[in-house]
Amino acid sequence: MKVSRREFVSAAGYAAASLYALPFCAFAAGDSDERSSARCTLLDLESNCALPESLAGMRAALGDAHRRVTEIDLSCAGLAIVVPAAGAVRAETFRAVTELAEHGATVLWESGAAFLGPREFAEQQALTLEHFGISMRQPIDVWSPSGPRKASVGAKTQSARNMRAIGHERVPYVAYHWPREARIRDFSCVISVSATAGEAVAHWREIPVAWGKSLVSGKIVFLGSPIGPALHAGDSDATSLFRSLITA
């Protein structure tokens, strides 16, 4: 019997409806590392990916157990969707991702908006609030020796030099509390995030930089601190956390 895409997604939504009644953190990690990630879809934003090393790191962490699609092929996405370093993303893509999450998909959205210019950042800020209900504040350069400040567009090219100049004792780490405890090094800057629903799943110092919330039958985990560069660097803790985030 042939089943249309719409019918399949609707059926998946009904199957996941019972999970929606649980609090966000009730989605325990459990045996997530052992569960197959073959259903995972990696969204390649091409020129709208703000950090190519994030895309490369996530592809390496997923190995062969994923399929890569572009924005025009997003309708073919599975029930786990990973978006690396989202930069100047179109409103149509936001709508498509939101619809998939509302019908049962788990979305891991890594923001790369910190590396955009002021106008483009403001556009992504507005779209994120409109479609995900998540607020983003101005980015903070966590590698600045003088303390937090707004990140510049060139922050990603400066981070390696800052790393050498600041020294190991000042290396900034993001503390994750869900789906497992982990401390992941940040390579450049973070975005403070918040929402009226869901809860923070990671902090840099006292600042929430990752947020998880339910969207009807599915859920979204929004990362204001990119994890992809740590994956690209071969960080085993980041790899374990990443796999838990997309399967929890």
The whole-number pLDDT of residue 248 equals 81
Cβ-proximal residues to 50 (8 Å cutoff; 6+ apart), any chain? 85, 86, 87, 112, 113, 114, 115, 116, 156
Kindly report, residue by residue over 137-182, the tens digit of the pLDDT: 999 999 876 544 444 444 444 443 343 344 445 789 999 999 999 9
93 CB contacts (<8 Å, ≥6 apart)? 45, 71, 74
pLDDT (0 to 100) of residue 92: 96
What pLDDT was estimated at residue 171? 80
Higher pLDDT among residues 46 and 64, named by residue: 46
Structure-block tokens of residue 235: 């960080």
Higher pLDDT, 64 or 9: 64
Average pLDDT over residues 25-34: 38
Select the more confidently predicted residue: 190 or 247. Answer: 190
Per-residue pLDDT tens for 210-224? 999 999 999 999 999
Give CA–CA dist 181/161, Å, rounded: 29
Instruction: Kindly report which listed range (19-33, 43-57, 90-104, 142-156) carries the lowest average pLDDT score.
Output: 19-33
Residue 33: predicted pLDDT: 42
241-245 average pLDDT score: 96
Q: pLDDT category, 231, cuts 50, 70, 90?
A: very high
Torsion sign over Cα 134, 138, 139, 143: negative
- Give per-residue pLDDT as tens, 190-205: 999 999 999 999 999 9
Cα angle at 192 between 24 and 146, to 5 degrees? 145
Q: How far is CA 30 from CA 140, 179, 189, 202, in A?
A: 33, 9, 31, 19
Q: Can you give the three-state secondary structure of the chain, one letter per residue? A: CCCCHHHHHHHHHHHHHHHHCCCHHHCCCCCCCCCCCCCEEEECCHHHECCHHHHHHHHHHHCCCEEEECHHHHHHCCCEEEEEEECCCCHHHHHHHHHHHHCCCEEEEEECHHHCCHHHHHHHHHHHHHHHCEEECCCEECCCCCCCCECCCCHHHHHHHHHHHHCHHHCCEEEECCCCCEEEECCCEECCEEECCCEEEEEECCEEEEEEEEECCEEEEEECCCCHHHHHCCCHHHHHHHHHHHHC
The pLDDT score that the predictor gives to residue 65 is 79
* Whole-number percent of the chain with pLDDT over 70: 74
Higher pLDDT: 144 or 43? It is 43
**Lowest model confidence (mean pLDDT) among 23-32, 74-83, 116-125, 200-209:** 23-32
For the chain, which domains are there?
5-247 (3.40.50.880)
pTM summary value: 0.79
pLDDT score, position 153 = 44
Q: For residue 73, how far is the Cα from the chain centroid?
A: 19
- Chain segment 66-115, per-residue pLDDT in tens: 999 999 888 878 899 999 999 999 999 999 999 999 999 999 999 999 99
For residue 121, what pLDDT band results from cuts at 50, 70 and 90? Answer: very high
- Tell me the C-alpha distance between 47 and 55, whole Å: 11
